[in-house]
Chain A
Amino acid sequence: MVPEERFKEIVAQYCDVKPEDMKDDLRFREDLGFSSLDFMSLLGELEDEFDVELEEDKVVKIQTIKEAMDLIGELKEEK
């Protein structure tokens, strides 16, 4: 499991939605206004924060907050 609070705190640095208002089904691009640069920069920061390595083919499929949290959670469990 990824610490949800910390995860959302990081995402909130990139957008105008507060962590407590960040619903799991929010989409990075359409709902939170992430550009490609924002999204890839966020992924780099999440990699460092949660000490995981994201694979490109899986990364491109991520659309929502929940999908990102689930993927990082899975990678952490695999370690």
Chain B
Amino acid sequence: MAKKYPLTAAQKIHYRWINEYKTQQVSGLSVVASLKADLDLDLLKKCILKELDRYKCLKVHFTAPDKKGEIKQYIPKKLKLDIPVKDLSDMTMEEADDTMQKWAYKTIDGDDIPMCEFFIMKLPDGYNGFFLHIDHRLMDSIGMVVMIGDIMSLYTHYRFKSEMPADLADYEEVLENDLKRASNEKRFLKDKKFWDDMLDQWGEPLYSDIQGPGVLEESRKKHNDPNLRAADIEREKLFVAVKDYQLEPESTKNLMTFCINNQLSVTNLLLLGIRTYLSKVNNGQEDITVENFISRRSTKDEWTSGGSRTIMFPCRTVLPSDIEFIAGAYEIQNMQNRIYMHSNYDPELIWEEIRKRYNTPKDTSYESCYLTYQPVSAKLENPYLKDIPMHSKWFANGAATKKMYLTVSHLYNGGMNFSYHYQTAALTEKDMELFNYYLMRIIFRGIEQPNLTLEEIINMV
């Protein structure tokens, strides 16, 4: 009988969202990876089936909820997964993408069933590959990039006799290690103290909205509480739209050079830019919190074990308006470094403590913006494939749990992509355009003159 394990803190985030928003759709993750090449599709299928044994997170099943509503995960001893061929080659690529986008909206409902679905894809313009639709509790974006690379390496091994790719880390071993760490009482108390101390020092957080202070004012009226510091969350109309903006290679190079020269991580520069924009549109508010996703992949085994390790924590920035841009960046970096040390903690416990202390109303939040920075490029390093044109695309699941979620990643051409997923119930493409315009202006003004104060930068842009 398969061994059953509780969910990790990172998996629990997705499970809570599924329950809170009452649909598995919020936990969908979909991608297509294809090459402009006449691939042997039977061999590709064989490689995917082999990947199921190498990358065991793909096999994870969940039990039905117990009386407390909790579920367990396990890897069944035997799994038969059908991998059908889908032929969209007579469409345009845009139509094919639209079709796959619809698949990404589907839910994977049921207990004790496979939580992923593979299709072998025949796409327009000679592209061939595969599509994967998977529950986010099984895999995050880095896990997906590792898996795509491994499947392609298996393919070139069998097709071109390239070296067999090295074994991937065992999912269950890494999971057991995570769960052991999470149940360490001393560690738990240290982590709790860190997060509690922050509330002792700064008190209750204060909401800041992308659209300005009016949103919090509305919530204050609705709850009949002029001192309310949290704003309402949209729970019903979850439809999400996506708007991408690209930063050209030359500007990206300037941004990266600034980070290297100042020993600053890109995440922290982005967090400073976002919080400064929120300060700008909220009358210079100094106490601003942005939710930041952390990959939690540090050891070699964590990198190749798959699974869903990404976890989000509030990055609270209390920066006076007269602080210099570069000093603000270091303040955020110090805060983030401390958070990294305590990132085994279940973020839900932070919110429980806040709700207990400040009596925060149900279905409200202190954050309007969520950030993920992905330093890993989806580019194939495989020497047999690197010169072959690739069509890979991530498809939004269509149901946002967050008002605005920004994913920043690197492009093949050396540029960067800023992908905004936003709830259409509250935000428009114009909001995203303004956000991105000012974010760039703030960051590049800060890079050019890092000794300007945040207030000066806000006034200049």
Contact = CB atoms under 8 A, between A and B. Distances in A.
A binds B: yes
Interface of A: 13-16, 35-38, 40-45, 47-48, 51, 53, 56, 60
A51 B184 CA distance: 11
Given A40-B337, A41-B343, A13 B301 contact: yes
Contact of B341 (A14, A15, A40): A40
12 contacts: A13-B299, A13-B301, A14-B298, A15-B300, A35-B265, A36-B336, A40-B338, A41-B299, A41-B343, A45-B181, A48-B181, A48-B184
Given A44-B187, A48-B187, A38 B341 contact: no
A51 B186 CA distance: 9
A53 B190 contact: yes
B201 to A, nearest CB: 14
Nearest to B338: A56
Given A43-B341, A44-B341, A38 B298 contact: yes
B341 A41 contact: yes
B336 A13 contact: no
Contact of A44 (B265, B295, B300, B344): B344
A42 B295 CA distance: 15
Given A13-B301, A14-B299, A41 B187 contact: no
B300, B338, B340, B342: residue with the most chain A Cβ atoms closer than 10 Å: B340
B315 interface: no
B294 interface: yes
Nearest to B301: A13
B27 interface: no
Interface of B: 181, 184, 186-187, 190, 265, 294-296, 298-301, 333, 336-338, 340-344
Contacts of A48: 181, 184, 186-187
Nearest to A12: B300
A37 B344 contact: no
A74 to B, nearest CB: 19
Nearest to B344: A44
Contacts of A36: 265, 333, 336-337, 340
B75 to A, nearest CB: 23
A40 B336 CA distance: 10
B359 to A, nearest CB: 31
A8 to B, nearest CB: 14
Contacts of A13: 299-301
Contacts of A38: 298
Contacts of A44: 187, 341-342, 344
A37 B184 contact: no
B103 to A, nearest CB: 33
A53 B187 CA distance: 10
Contacts of B186: 48, 51
Contacts of A35: 265, 298
B298 A42 contact: yes
Contacts of A47: 187, 190
Contact of A37 (B181, B300, B340, B342): B340
Contacts of A53: 190
A15 to B, nearest CB: 8
Nearest to A45: B181
Top 5 A-B pairs, shortest CB-CB distance: A40-B340, A41-B298, A38-B298, A13-B299, A40-B341
Given A43-B341, A48-B184, A56-B338, A37 B190 contact: no
A37 B187 contact: no
A75 B187 CA distance: 17
A49 to B, nearest CB: 11
A53 B184 CA distance: 14
A77 to B, nearest CB: 19
A56 B336 CA distance: 12
Contacts of B265: 35-36
B92 to A, nearest CB: 41
A53 B336 CA distance: 19
Contacts of B333: 36
Contacts of B298: 14, 35, 37-38, 41-42
A38 to B, nearest CB: 4
A35 to B, nearest CB: 7
